[in-house]
Amino acid sequence: MQIILDELGRLETDAVRQITTAGTLDILEELRVQVLGKKGRLTAILRGLKDLTPDQKRDIGGRANQLKSKLEELIVSRRDELMGAASGPGLIDVTLPGRPLHHGHRHLVTLVMDQIVNIFQRMGFEIADGPDIETDYYNFSALNFPPDHPARDEQDTFYVEGDRLLRTHTSGVQVREFEKRKPPVKIIAPGLVFRNEAVNARAHCVFHQVEGFFVDTNVTFSDLKGVLEAFVYEFFGSGVAMRYRPSFFPFTEPSAEVDIRCFFCGGKGCPICKNEGWLEILGSGMIDPAVLKNVGYDSERVSGYAFGMGVERPAMLRYQVNDIRLLFENDIRFIRQFR
């Protein structure tokens, strides 16, 4: 027993001296492992307890625990001293006021997309998603685009390889969902789309789109108008003027584009609205029976409508942004204006 007590005494003397004079945090950690680790000196000494009586084990165990606590406190104290020295004197003044934290926020495009989707969700539309890289079938053929349609040309579409391309609209989600579901189907499909277009103040080669479609029995153009007018009045305000213009899209018949009175000039004409006084915000129409047939729907029994809009243009109109490129340049001075 006395031999073990002598060893504990020598360990205490050596360890206290080495810990209090340790010059770096690495040296201090090495000492901690050598003294208190699983294979350290204290553990090695305590292995001799197996040959002692229960009373002797209790006495030496108590002495060893006291020594362990003392050395741990010394190590913590020396670590604090070394860390304080490393930070340098006078670098922290606790009397100074705190620095403000800068909180992030959603980008304007994300904010507007969420607002658009939320409006349609409240009308009962579900959210669906599809791949950014589409096949020719889902992007064109299933949507009734003829083989010689100009939209298929490389001047309008980014082709990847073979029949794969960067989707030019989120309308492909419409076909994918129709293939998986039976009417009624009421879907909103937001996402990124790509067009091989020149970049200017009004257009960009990458932008966001929200596609919506509804198929059921007895769906009419009046239903489509009611949904679109409810959206326009909620998003832009009840006082906004809007109009429908006959148009053509391969996947809808009849088709219409929806315009609203230009926010920038009040309808007088300006470069943003091409001096027309109106700004196009979306395209729409009744789903062509050929599209319904392509997905196995009976066009004699069901009908439906579809609409699609960019996100950037409504964002520009609502928040008075006169150049779409500002939405993609990530200038922090611009982004911080829309919290």
Q: What is the pLDDT of residue 91?
A: 58
Q: What is the pLDDT of residue 283?
A: 93
Q: What is the pLDDT of residue 176?
A: 93
Cβ partners under 8 Å of residue 101, min gap 6: none
Taking CA atoms, 235 is separated from 87, 122, 203, 216, 240, in Å, by 54, 13, 22, 26, 10
Q: What is the pLDDT of residue 164?
A: 92
What is the number of alpha carbons within 13 Å of residue 170 lying toward its C-beta? Answer: 27
| Structure token digits, residue 59 | 């006495």
Q: What is the pLDDT of residue 234?
A: 92
Q: What is the pLDDT of residue 98?
A: 81
Q: What is the pLDDT of residue 150?
A: 78
pLDDT in tens, the chain (339 residues): 677 777 878 888 888 888 888 888 888 888 888 888 877 887 777 777 677 777 777 777 778 788 888 888 888 888 888 887 655 555 566 787 888 887 888 899 999 999 999 999 999 999 999 999 999 999 998 998 888 777 777 668 899 988 899 999 999 999 999 999 899 999 999 999 999 888 887 778 899 999 999 999 999 999 999 999 999 999 988 888 899 999 999 899 999 999 998 877 777 888 777 788 888 889 999 999 999 999 999 999 999 999 999 998 888 888 888 888 888 888 888 888 887
Q: What is the pLDDT of residue 88?
A: 53
| Structure token digits, residue 334 | 């611009």
pTM listed for this prediction: 0.66
| Structure token digits, residue 29 | 């950690």
Interior angle at CA 324, CA 320 and CA 330, nearest 5 = 100
Q: What is the pLDDT of residue 287?
A: 94
Q: Distance (Å, rounded) from C-alpha 10 to C-alpha 75? A: 18
The ranges assigned to domains in the chain are 2-87, 108-335
Instruction: For the domain made up of 108-335, give the CATH fold.
Output: BirA Bifunctional Protein; domain 2 (3.30.930)
The tokens 């909103």 sit on which residue?
A: 188
Q: Distance (Å, rounded) from C-alpha 50 to C-alpha 57? A: 8
Q: What is the pLDDT of residue 210?
A: 95
Q: What is the pLDDT of residue 307?
A: 95
Q: What is the pLDDT of residue 89?
A: 52
